[in-house]
Amino acid sequence: MDETLLLRDALAMSADLIAWRRDLHQHPELGFQERRTAGVIAHSLRELGLEVQTGIAETGVVALLEGGRPGRTLLLRWDMDALPVEEATGAPYASLEPGRMHACGHDGHVAIGLGVARLVHAYRAELPRRVQLVFQPAEEGLGGAQRMLDAGVLEAERPEVALGVHLWNARPLGWVGIPDGPMMAGADVLEIEILGKGGHGAAPHQAHDPVVAAALVVSALQTIVARNTDPTATAVVSITQLRAGEAFNVIPDRAILRGTVRTFEAAVRQTVLGRIEELAVGVAAAMECAAQVRLTPLTPPVVNDPRIAARVRAVARRVLADGHLDETERSMVSEDMAFFLQAVPGCFVFIGSANAERGLDAPHHNPGFDFDEAALPRAVALLSAAAFDLLGHA
C-alpha cells in the first residue's frame, strides 16, 4: 500500500470530513441516545455498500469491510456521544440543542471514522482480509464500551488487533502521541457516607458531628498520594462532592463525600483503595461517627501493546512526517477504549488538535471547547495507513 496516496486522499476529503463533523456538532446526542448520529453513520457506510448492523447496545453501529486478500481482522473503534454542557463557542456550527454539546470531540471521531471507512474501502483490493468498524455509544462514563462487548461485538470476527483515536486539545495540531503501556488512567468512583448524630447547632456536645468528621476525612485522604504511594508512581484522589445539612443551625445526621480515584497500575490502585477505606473508617471513628465506603470501578486503564504501538509510531513517522511524535504522553483522564484493549491487543492514539492562535485550545469538556479541523484528515491518513500496515504483518 502506497501510504502517500492515503495522506493525499485524506487531505482531498477535508471538506467532507468538516461537513460531517459540523453536522454532528450541531446535533449532539447524549449517551445511548445517539439515534440521529447512528443514522448518519449507517447511511454513510451503506453508501459504500457495506453491510451495517445498528441498534447494538442501544445505538451502536458495526460494519465489516472485506478486503481482497486473506489475513487477519482489525477492529477500529470510534465513540459518538456528547456531553450535558451548554455550548459557549459562538461558532457558526454551534450546538442547536440546549444543554448539550460535543465538548470532547466525539463528533470529530465519528467524522474520522467515516473518512477511514471511505478511504480503506477505496483501496480494499489491497486490504488483507477484514476491518471491523465499531461506532460505540455512551463513552462518557456511561459504560458504552462494555455494553458493546456484552452484545458480542468481538465474537463474530475475533479481531486480532484494535485501534482507536482521541483528538487531543492539550497539544497543538501536528503533534501525535503514541506511548507504550498504560496511557490513560483507570478510574474508580468513590462514595463515603459518614453517619453521626444530629442535633442543635448550638449544642455540639450533644451531637456527633458528621460535618467535622467529613472535613477531616477529606484532609486525611490527601495523605494517600503524598504518603502511601511510591513517589515514582502516579495516582489521583479527588473529592469532588461534599453534601451535608439543610439548615444553618442544625447539625445533620450524615454527610456524603463523592469523588474519583485515578491510577495506571493494579498494585497502586489496591494501595489507594485500601487506604481510602482505612482512613475514612478510622478518622470517622475517632470523631465518634461511622463511615461506609463504596468504591465502584468505572474504567480500567487504557494500555497500549508496545509492539503494536511501535508499528503505529513507525507509520506516523512516515505518513505525518511533518508532525511531532511524542512517545511519553499520559493522561489521568479515563477512556472506555480500555475495555476493547483489555480484550484485544492494540493501540490508542492521541491526535493534537489545538490551535491557540485561532482560539481553538479550550480543554475537553469545557463549554468553549473546539478544535482545529485540520486534525481530521491527519487522523484519517494515520489510522488508515496503520490499518493497512498492521493487517499486512502477522
Write the DSSP string, 293-351. EEEEEEEPPEEE-HHHHHHHHHHHHHHTTTSEEES---BSS--THHHHHHHS-EEEEEE
Catalytic residue among 34, 87, 139, 193: 139
**Does residue 372 carry a catalytic annotation?**
no
Tell whether residue 375 is a contact of Ni ion (CB under 5 A). Answer: no
Nearer to Ni ion, 104 or 287 (CB): 104
Q: Would you mind telling me the total number of residues written for the chain in this entry?
A: 394
Nearer to Ni ion, 104 or 194 (CB): 104
Tell whether residue 41 is a contact of Ni ion (CB under 5 A). Answer: no
Alpha-carbon span 59 to 107, nearest angstrom: 15
Helix 306-319 × helix 3-12 angle, to 10° = 70
Tell whether residue 145 is a contact of Ni ion (CB under 5 A). Answer: no
Task: Please state the closest distance from residue 80 (CB atom) to Ni ion, in A.
Answer: 10
**Cβ-proximal residue to Ni ion, closest one:** 104
Task: Please state the closest distance from residue 318 (CB atom) to Ni ion, in A.
Answer: 27
Nearer to Ni ion, 168 or 264 (CB): 168
Catalytic residue among 79, 81, 335, 336: 81
Nearer to Ni ion, 48 or 142 (CB): 142
Tell whether residue 63 is a contact of Ni ion (CB under 5 A). Answer: no
Contact 172, 232 (CB under 8 A): no
Mask 87-106, x = binds Ni ion (CB under 5 A)?
A: -----------------x--
Tell whether residue 112 is a contact of Ni ion (CB under 5 A). Answer: no
Rg (CA), the chain: 23
- Counting residues that bind Ni ion (by CB under 5 A) gives 1
In three-state secondary structure terms, 262 is strand
* Cell numbers found for residue 123: 483501496
**Does residue 51 carry a catalytic annotation?**
no
Q: What are phi and psi of 223, to 5 degrees?
A: -80, -10
* Cell numbers found for residue 294: 463504596
Which residues are near Ni ion by CB under 5 A?
Answer: 104
Q: Which residues are catalytic?
A: 81, 139
